[in-house]
């Protein structure tokens, strides 16, 4: 989870970070976002303190400028749903869209690594695709292994590094092959038609 957050870096002067149990206690983080939503601090603290979800914050100069609140469902703790997003007026629409794309990538990673079975984000549902056969996933993993081994050999001219790169890239490509993103609205229409 942290890898994608770290790779995002600074976008349009904002950084994104996961809010944890230590940082949630700092009242000064919430001064600007509370002007937009008075209940946001208590909602964030409830999710973090009860360990019922995850909170990602768009930060600038040590203040929260935007919040993504995800909560696990009561029935299944392996399903994560976006329940609320709040931004200050300072965060422009194009910046929001860029972060939405990165959060969606984070959701794909979490499902691929089996941290969650399903993540609902706005109108998109990220889950493991049951129609993907194990053969397709195997060949994607094997292709990833070969690609990683080739890159490791080209860069380092060492069998050891070739194997390391192969074993790192192979499973990750296979896991991502098995993840699918669908629109929530389209899946509802299909169910109604049946």
Chain segment 11-51, per-residue pLDDT in tens? 889 998 888 899 899 999 999 999 999 999 999 999 999 98
Q: What is the pTM of this model?
A: 0.72
Q: Which of 156, 176, 155 is nearest to 4 (CA)?
A: 176
What is the reported pLDDT for 42?
94
Longest dimension (CA), the chain: 58
User: Residue 190: its pLDDT value, please?
Assistant: 46
Helix (H, G, I), strand (E, B) or coil at 43: helix
Determine the topology of domain 2-124 in CATH.
Answer: Aminopeptidase (3.40.630)
Q: What is the pLDDT of residue 188?
A: 46
- Flag whether pLDDT at 3 surpasses 70: no
Specify the pLDDT at position 138.
86
Q: What is the pLDDT of residue 6?
A: 53
As annotated, the residues of the chain forming the CATH 3.40.630.30 domain(s) are: 2-124
Q: Quick one: pLDDT at residue 95?
A: 93
Residue 178: pLDDT band (50, 70, 90) is: confident
| % of the chain with per-residue pLDDT over 70 | 89
Q: Identify the residue with better confidence: 80 or 174.
A: 80
Please tell me the distance from the alpha carbon of residue 142 to that of residue 187, in angstroms, as a whole number: 32
CA angle 94, 97, 98 (to 5 degrees): 90
pLDDT at site 30:
93
CA–CA dist 97, 119 (Å, integer): 18
pLDDT of residue 82: 93
Report the pLDDT averaged over residues 105-133: 84
């Amino acid at each position: 989870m942290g890898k994608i957050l770290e790779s995002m870096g600074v976008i349009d002067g904002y950084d994104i970070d996961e809010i944890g149990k230590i940082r949630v206690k700092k009242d000064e983080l919430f001064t600007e976002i509370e002007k937009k939503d008075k209940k946001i601090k208590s909602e964030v603290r409830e999710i973090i303190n009860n360990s019922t979800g995850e909170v990602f914050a768009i930060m600038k100069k040590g203040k929260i400028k935007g919040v993504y609140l995800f909560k696990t469902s009561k029935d299944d703790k392996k399903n994560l749903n976006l329940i609320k997003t709040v931004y200050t007026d300072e965060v422009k629409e194009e910046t929001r869209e860029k972060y939405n794309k990165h959060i969606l990538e984070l959701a794909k990673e979490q499902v691929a690594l089996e941290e969650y079975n399903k993540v609902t984000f706005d109108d998109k549902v990220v889950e493991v695709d049951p129609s993907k056969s194990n053969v397709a996933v195997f060949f994607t993993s094997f292709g990833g292994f070969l690609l990683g081994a080739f890159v490791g050999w080209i860069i380092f001219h060492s069998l050891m590094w070739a194997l390391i790169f192969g074993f790192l890239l192979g499973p990750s490509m296979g896991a991502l092959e098995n993840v699918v993103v669908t629109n929530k609205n389209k899946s509802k229409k299909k169910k109604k038609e049946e």
